[in-house]
C-alpha cells in the first residue's frame, strides 16, 4: 500500500519527459514555417534530432500580430519502431510566441490536448562488446515559459509481453522555464487507480537525456490524498500520504509518511489507526519497488516491515512479499484487526511473520493472503469474563486449591507458530500457561465463519482428583493413573470447538490419553 505511490511517481515523471519531446515537434514546425514553410524539412529535422519517425497531419500558423501555431494529428515513433504503439500521439498542440522572441528561440506557451504516451520497454544498455553505448547530446536551443497538458494518458509497455500494461490519467501537467539544457520546474495532478485517490506532485526535472531518457534526473515532493482502500477487495479506510523523492527516471529513491485513521479488514470491520514512515527504491524499468524500511504503527502496536512489490507475467497488479517483526505490539490491535467483534484477549505480543500477497483483483485480500510465522503473548488476559473465569478456575484446580477465590484475574503466556491460507488460520505447537496448569494445542480458526477446532492436552501440576473436592474427588482417584504425566502431574486430552462467539471446552475422548 505504501509503495504503490512510489511506482506512480515514476509514471508521472515519465510523462513529464515525453511531453518535453512532443513540445519540440510543433516548436520546430513554427520555426521552419517562419523561415521557409517547408513541412518536409520540419519532419526531417525532428527525425534527425530525436532519432524518430514523425508525422504531422495538419499544421496552421498565424504570424501577425504574434505567432500562433496549431498542429493536429502528431505521431512520433521512437527509432522508427512499429512493433509497439507510437511513443507519442497528440490530437492538437498550440504554440504562442512573439515573432521576435521566436527568432531568438523563446516561446511564451504551449498547450497540449489529447496527449497519449506509450512508453516502450527499455532497449539494452550495452553494446555487443559489453561497453556502454556513447550518449548523444541533442542540440536544441529553446526556452518555453510554460507548457500545459490537459487530460493526458500514459501507458507503460512491459518488456515481457506476458505482463499487462498499466494506464494512468494525468489530468493536469504544467512545466515552467523549460529547456533541453537545464532542469525545469513542474507540477502534475493525476488519479491513481488503486487505491483510488488523487496525487499532486511538484519538483525539478532534467536536463533531458535524449539517448537514454531513464538517466534523466528528477527530484520533488508529493501529496497523495483521499486514497480509498475500499477500491481494493477486502480492505477499507481513507489514506493520505506526503513525501519526497530523487534520483533518475529508472531508479527513484522515495521517502514518505502515510496516515489512515480508519484502516480495516472487511472480514472483521474493526477500524484502527495506521501510520507508516517508509524508505523505498523504485525500479523504473518495470515499476517494481523495494521496501528498504517501513516503520508502521497499528493502533498502539509498532511494526517493522521490509520486502518487495513485484510484477508477475500475465497478471494485473503487483505481488507483495514482506517480512514483518514486532517486539512490543498489543494483542488487542493485531488480533482485533482480523477477528469479528474485536480481540478476545489483551497482552503484549512479539512476532515474526512472512507475508505473501499475490495479485488477483477478483479475490479479497483475506482469500489471497498467505502468512507464516511465530508469536508469543505475555501478561495475557481474556476480555470475555466467562472465559477469564474458566481460566481462573483452571489455575485453582491446577494448583490443587479449587475453592480458593483469592486466585482470580490470573495472567498467562501464549506462544506458538501460525500459518494462514484462504482465510483459515492454522495454529501449531501452541503452548498456554497459567499458574498451576498449562495447555498444548493444535488446530484452526476460520476467519470468515468464526468456527474453530483445537485439540491437545491440559497439563496440571496435580492429579485430577486434587482439582476438586467431595465425591467427585473420590471418583477421580480411579482415573488418576490414566492421566499421569512424566515428571509428575497430569495430562488430560482436551478439545476446544464451536464458534468464536460460543466456544465449547471438553475432554477429547477420541484423543491420545497418554501423558506428555
pLDDT digits (tens, 9 = 90+) for 185-210: 999 988 777 778 888 999 998 887 76
Of the pLDDT bands very low, low, confident and very high (cuts 50, 70, 90), residue 296 is very high
Are 9 and 222 in contact, with CB atoms under 8 Å apart?
A: yes
Helix (H, G, I), strand (E, B) or coil at 253: strand
Cβ contact 324:302 at 8 Å: no
The domain segmentation of the chain, as residue ranges, is 4-121+137-330, 384-516
Beta strand 370-382 with 412-421: parallel, antiparallel or unpaired? antiparallel
Q: In the structure, what pLDDT confidence band is assigned to residue 130 with cuts at 50, 70 and 90? A: very low
pLDDT tens-place string over residues 314-354: 667 788 899 999 998 998 998 888 887 788 888 899 999 99
Scanning the structure block, which residue is given the C-alpha cell 478439545? 495
- pLDDT score for 359: 82
Rounded to two decimals, what is the model's pTM? Answer: 0.74
**Closest by Cα among 169, 224, 208, 251 to 20:** 208
The three cell numbers of residue 425 are 488460520
| pLDDT given at position 36 | 43
448 has pLDDT over 80: yes
Instruction: Answer yes or no: is pLDDT of 50 > 80.
Output: no
CB atoms within 10 A of CB 426: 15
What is the arithmetic mean of pLDDT over 364-369?
Answer: 86
- Please state, in angstroms and rounded to a whole number, the distance separating the CA atoms of residues 146 and 150: 13
Confidence bin at 174 (pLDDT 50/70/90): very high
Q: Which residues contact 49 (CB under 8 A, 6 or more apart)?
A: 24, 138, 139, 140
Please determine, for residue 31, whether its predicted confidence score (pLDDT) is greater than 70.
Answer: no
In this prediction, what percent of the chain has a pLDDT beyond 70? 71
Give me the chain's average pLDDT, please. Answer: 78
pLDDT (0 to 100) of residue 460: 75
Which residue carries 521552419 as its cell?
32
pLDDT at 435 over 60: yes
Q: Give the residue among 184, 49, 53, 190 at the shortest CA–CA distance from 115.
A: 190
Amino acid at each position: 500500500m505504501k509503495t504503490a505511490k512510489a511506482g506512480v511517481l515514476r509514471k508521472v515523471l515519465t510523462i513529464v519527459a515525453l511531453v518535453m519531446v512532443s513540445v519540440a515537434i510543433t516548436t520546430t514546425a513554427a520555426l521552419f514555417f517562419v523561415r521557409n514553410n517547408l513541412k518536409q524539412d520540419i519532419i526531417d529535422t525532428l527525425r534527425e534530432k530525436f532519432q524518430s519517425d514523425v508525422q504531422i497531419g495538419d499544421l496552421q500558423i498565424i504570424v501577425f500580430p504574434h505567432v500562433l501555431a496549431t498542429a493536429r494529428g502528431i505521431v512520433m515513433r521512437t527509432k522508427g519502431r512499429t512493433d509497439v504503439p507510437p511513443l507519442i500521439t497528440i490530437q492538437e498542440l498550440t504554440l504562442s510566441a512573439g515573432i521576435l522572441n521566436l527568432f531568438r528561440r523563446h516561446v511564451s506557451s504551449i498547450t497540449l490536448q489529447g496527449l497519449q504516451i506509450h512508453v516502450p520497454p527499455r532497449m539494452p544498455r550495452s553494446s555487443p562488446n559489453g561497453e556502454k553505448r556513447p550518449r548523444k547530446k541533442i542540440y536544441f536551443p529553446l526556452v518555453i515559459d510554460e507548457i500545459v497538458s490537459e487530460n493526458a494518458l500514459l501507458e507503460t509497455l512491459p518488456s515481457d509481453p506476458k505482463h499487462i500494461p498499466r494506464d494512468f490519467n494525468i489530468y493536469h501537467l504544467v512545466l515552467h522555464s523549460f529547456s533541453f539544457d537545464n532542469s525545469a520546474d513542474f507540477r502534475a495532478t493525476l488519479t491513481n487507480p488503486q487505491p483510488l485517490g488523487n496525487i499532486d506532485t511538484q519538483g525539478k526535472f532534467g536536463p533531458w537525456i535524449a539517448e537514454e531518457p531513464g538517466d534523466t534526473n528528477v527530484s520533488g515532493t508529493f501529496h497523495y490524498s483521499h486514497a480509498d482502500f475500499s477500491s481494493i477487495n477486502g480492505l477499507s479506510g481513507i489514506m493520505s500520504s506526503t513525501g519526497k523523492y530523487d534520483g533518475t527516471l529508472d531508479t527513484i529513491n522515495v521517502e514518505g509518511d502515510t496516515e489512515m485513521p480508519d484502516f480495516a479488514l472487511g472480514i472483521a470491520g474493526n477500524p484502527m489507526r495506521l501510520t507508516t514512515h517508509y524508505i523505498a527504491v523504485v525500479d523504473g524499468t518495470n515499476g517494481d519497488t523495494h521496501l528498504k524500511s517501513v516503520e508502521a504503527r497499528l493502533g498502539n502496536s509498532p511494526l517493522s516491515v521490509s520486502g518487495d512489490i513485484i510484477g508477475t507475467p500475465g497478471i494485473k497488479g503487483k505481488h507483495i512479499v514482506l517480512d514483518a517483526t514486532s517486539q512490543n505490539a498489543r494483542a488487542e490491535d493485531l488480533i482485533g484487526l482480523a477477528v469479528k467483534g474485536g480481540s478476545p484477549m489483551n497482552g503484549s505480543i512479539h512476532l515474526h511473520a512472512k507475508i505473501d500477497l499475490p495479485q488477483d483483483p477478483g479475490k479479497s485480500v483475506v482469500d489471497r493472503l498467505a502468512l507464516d510465522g511465530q508469536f508469543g503473548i505475555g501478561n495475557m488476559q481474556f476480555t470475555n469474563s466467562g472465559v477469564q473465569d474458566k481460566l481462573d478456575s483452571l489455575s485453582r484446580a491446577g494448583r490443587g486449591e479449587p475453592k480458593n477465590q483469592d486466585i482470580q484475574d490470573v495472567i498467562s503466556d501464549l506462544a506458538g507458530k501460525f500459518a494462514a491460507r484462504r482465510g483459515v488460520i492454522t495454529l501449531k505447537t501452541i503452548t498456554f500457561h497459567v499458574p498451576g496448569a498449562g495447555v498444548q494445542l493444535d488446530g484452526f480458526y476460520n476467519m470468515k465463519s468464526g468456527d474453530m477446532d483445537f485439540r491437545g492436552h491440559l497439563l496440571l501440576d496435580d492429579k485430577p482428583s486434587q482439582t476438586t473436592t467431595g465425591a467427585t474427588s473420590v471418583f477421580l482417584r480411579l482415573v488418576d493413573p490414566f492421566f499421569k504425566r512424566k515428571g509428575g502431574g497430569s495430562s488430560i486430552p482436551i478439545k476446544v470447538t464451536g464458534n468464536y462467539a460460543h466456544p465449547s471446552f471438553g475432554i477429547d475422548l477420541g484423543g491420545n490419553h497418554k501423558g506428555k
